[in-house]
Every structure is written in C-alpha cells, then in structure tokens.
Amino acid sequence: MRAVAKRFGKRDLLFLGILSALLFLGCAVFYLTGLKQGAAAEVTVDGTLYGTYPLNRDRTVDIRIGDTRTNVLVIQNGTADMTEANCPDRLCVHQKAISRANETIVCLPNKVVVAIKGGRQRKLDATA
C-alpha cells in the first residue's frame, strides 16, 4: 500500500506566514514613504477652479456659489479641513483634515472638491 502524502505541513505553513508578513511589511513601507506633504489646497466648484491656497499660511476660505456661502475651508498648521457646509448630509465636514499630496475632501451636493496638490510625489514607471 502507498502512503498518502500530506499536502501542507508545519514548515509549509510557517513559510507562507513569513512570506505573507514580509509582503505586508514591504507594501506598508512603500505606501508610507510615498505619502509626501502637499504644498497647496486646490478648490474646485462644479469642475471649475475656485482657488488654490498654500498650506503654509493659515486662513479661512468661504466657498460661495452665487451669493450663498456653501462651505467653509479652514487651512491651519499645514492641513485643510472642511468645517462648515450647508448640505443636508454634511459628510464633508466629518472627513478628516487633509495635508498629503492627492488627498481629497468632497462635498457632493455642493459639487465642491478640495484636493491637495504639489509636494514631491513618487512616480512609478512601467516596470514597477
């Protein structure tokens, strides 16, 4: 009679565990080193540029559509935070303050997008 071989032994599981941990750590390091401090907050309303505001200067920006103030953006200590909105759900107010390149705050009812631009960003080539 032939003996039935085991498919996975303890060494196989240990190898897969170590390999998974190394892969996770590699991805975490790549992601965290790719996040760079942004230089400015770019505000668009309905796809049109409303203004670009440097993050190194504290200010409060009233975002108006027509004569109505729809949103209030506060730039303080290198971060941009939506503190007020007249939309019904106010999800944009509950988003965290942003400061890293390519982070965004979106207010869909008012069609307001705040995106962090500038700073050094990692560029990937086709071989990555």
| CB count in 10 Å sphere of residue 127 | 4
Query: Per-residue pLDDT for 2 more than 70?
Result: no
pLDDT tens digits along 48-68:
999 999 999 999 999 999 899
Burial of residue 82 (CB within 10 Å: 0-12, 13-18, 19+) is: buried
| pTM reported for the whole predicted model | 0.66
Give all domains of the chain, ordered by start, each with its CATH number.
40-117 (2.60.320.10)
Contact (Cβ atoms closer than 8 angstroms) between residue 87 and residue 69: no
pLDDT tens digits along 108-125:
999 999 999 986 545 555
Question: If you average pLDDT over every residue of the chain, what do you get?
Answer: 85
* Segment 91-102 mean pLDDT: 92
